Amino acid sequence: VQLQASGGGSVLTGGSLRLSCVASGGTFRGYKIGWFRQAPGKEREFVAGIRWDGGITTYVDSLKGRFTISRDITKNTVYLQMNSLEPEDTAVYYCAASSRVIQSQIGVPSSYGYWGQGTLVTVSS
């Protein structure tokens, strides 16, 4: 499966963006999909994840309430709605997918075998 992430851009503090991750060459059925981000000079970090079958979601505690992960089964797409953006949210955002990751490892980048190309989010004050 190939992943295509999109939706990044430049916004002011307090703004919103919605990122999309589309699967091609297959479906997300049986997969867990994660959103990660990597700021300059920092390690890639987990943002949110969703189990395609059933839609169970997982979030990093620090972003709960501002970010929402969801899926559209008809479009084979996973979204990351980001609200109340802050300059600290500036990063390249990646989506990733795996059919083998267990729930306890959903936040571990090395658990994923498929990655999108990343989309840049810039938040300025």
Beta strands per DSSP E along the chain: 2-6, 9-12, 17-24, 32-38, 45-51, 57-59, 67-72, 77-82, 91-98, 114-115, 119-124
Q: In what helix (H) or strand (E) does residue 125 lie, and over which residues does it extend?
A: none
What are the angstrom distances between the C-alpha of 3 and each of 31, 97, 122? 12, 8, 21
36 vs 87: CA distance, rounded Å: 17
59 vs 10: CA distance, rounded Å: 23
Q: 68 versus 30: which is more confidently predicted?
A: 68
pLDDT of residue 75: 94
**Beta-bridge partner residues of 114:** 97
pLDDT of residue 25: 86
Least confident piece of the model among 5-9, 10-14, 26-30: 26-30
Three-state DSSP class for 118? coil
